[in-house]
């Protein structure tokens, strides 16, 4: 009978995810030699290799791929046992691993973190900022507890809580300030700057403009809203940004932000978590906190 530990399973999952001993060791807060020893002992206990090793690569064996699915299921269940105990406590306490997409994190988090420190000082917040697709993967794998994203997600195992709706605004060079904001049809003739592939905000902007990527005029794909706004200030084109980003992103650039004619484009921001997570009531409480913070934020005219 194979004899292995829960800690070894976590080490195996981390190494499977990073495919690099050094990075996995850092994530597990142990030394690289210690991680190597634990993985070797795990393979010896199982009597089968989990990884194919070469000088330049590390990949899972066929058995390792199959075993990884079961290991991740086990780790999710173990984490949810801990969460079940937390749910039995009164109030919202303990460690909260929260994911946030890049078009929300810089604008909402400063106020949210301050509000949580005041209202729930017993909560230890760990924040992960990345793209929606990665947040969903990490949520389903149990690496984060909840995430703030643009809805809908439409994943069966994930619960969604709509929080608020915000408008999308057009950013142009300041010399365009006196001109009326163009309609979506007019945007077809402009150099529209977009976030790079993978950002859900890019898809929302394309949908509003009724554009296909293949039909887009030459422009610039940026990795952040800050880059796009600065390029607009340099006279390269125009861009769309969410309402919550306007105050931060336009204050140091020669640009102007305007609202589109009705119906204005908008996105729904929401909180998501695994349906099986017993902390659902606490997440709903967190959602209400986020709504209050968002409602108190300054909005551009």
pLDDT at 139 over 90: yes
3-state secondary structure 186-217: HHCCCCEEEECCCCHHHHHHHHHHCCCHHHCC
Q: Does 166-266 match 6-84 at the fold level?
A: no
216-225, 250-259, 280-289: range with lowest mean pLDDT: 216-225
pLDDT at 84 over 90: no
pLDDT at 92 over 80: no
Measure the CA angle with vertex 284, ends 10 and 123; round to 5°. Answer: 55
pLDDT at 255 over 80: yes
Q: Which CATH class is domain 6-84?
A: mainly alpha
List pLDDT tens digits, range 144-187: 999 999 999 989 999 999 999 999 999 999 999 888 888 877 77
pLDDT at 217 over 90: no
Whole-angstrom Cα distance, residue 227 to residue 253? Answer: 11
Pair of tokens at residue 164: 């608020």
* The CATH number of the domain covering residues in 93-164+268-296: 3.40.190.10
pLDDT at 207 over 90: no
- Is residue 114 exposed (0-12), middle (13-18) or buried (19+ Cβ within 10 Å)? exposed
Can you say whether the dihedral through the CA atoms of 288, 293, 298, 299 is positive or negative?
A: negative
Whole-angstrom Cα distance, residue 20 to residue 63? Answer: 19
List pLDDT tens digits, range 21-48: 999 999 898 999 999 999 999 999 998 9
* The CATH number of the domain covering residues in 166-266: 3.40.190.10
- Domain chopping of the chain, boundaries: 6-84, 93-164+268-296, 166-266
The better pLDDT of the pair 103, 200 is held by 103
């Amino acid at each position: 009978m194979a004899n292995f530990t829960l800690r070894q399973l976590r080490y195996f999952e981390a190494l499977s995810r990073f495919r690099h001993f050094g990075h996995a060791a850092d994530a597990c807060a142990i030394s690289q030699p210690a991680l190597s020893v634990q993985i070797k002992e795990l393979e010896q206990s199982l009597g089968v290799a989990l990884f194919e090793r070469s000088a330049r690569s590390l990949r899972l064996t066929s058995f390792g791929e199959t075993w990884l699915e079961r290991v991740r299921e086990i780790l999710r269940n173990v984490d949810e046992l801990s969460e079940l105990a937390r749910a039995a406590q009164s109030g919202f306490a303990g460690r909260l691993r929260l994911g946030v997409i890049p078009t929300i994190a810089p604008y909402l988090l400063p106020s949210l973190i301050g509000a949580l420190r005041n209202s729930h000082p017993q909560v230890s917040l760990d924040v992960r900022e990345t793209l929606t697709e990665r947040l969903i993967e990490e949520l389903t794998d149990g690496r984060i507890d909840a995430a703030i994203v643009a809805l809908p997600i439409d994943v069966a195992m994930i619960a969604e809580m709509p929080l608020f709706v915000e408008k999308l605004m057009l950013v142009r060079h300041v010399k365009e300030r006196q001109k009326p904001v163009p309609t979506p049809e007019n945007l077809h003739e402009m150099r529209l700057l977009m976030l790079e592939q993978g950002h859900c905000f890019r898809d929302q902007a394309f949908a509003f403009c009724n554009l296909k990527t293949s039909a887009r005029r030459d422009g610039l794909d940026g990795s952040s809203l800050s880059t796009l706004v600065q390029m607009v200030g340099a006279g390269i084109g125009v861009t769309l940004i969410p309402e919550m980003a306007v105050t931060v992103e336009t204050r140091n650039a020669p640009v102007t932000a305007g609202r589109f004619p009705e119906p204005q484009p908008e996105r729904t921001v929401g909180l998501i978590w695994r349906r099986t997570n017993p902390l659902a009531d606490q997440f709903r409480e967190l959602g209400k906190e986020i709504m209050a913070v968002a409602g108190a934020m300054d909005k551009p005219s």
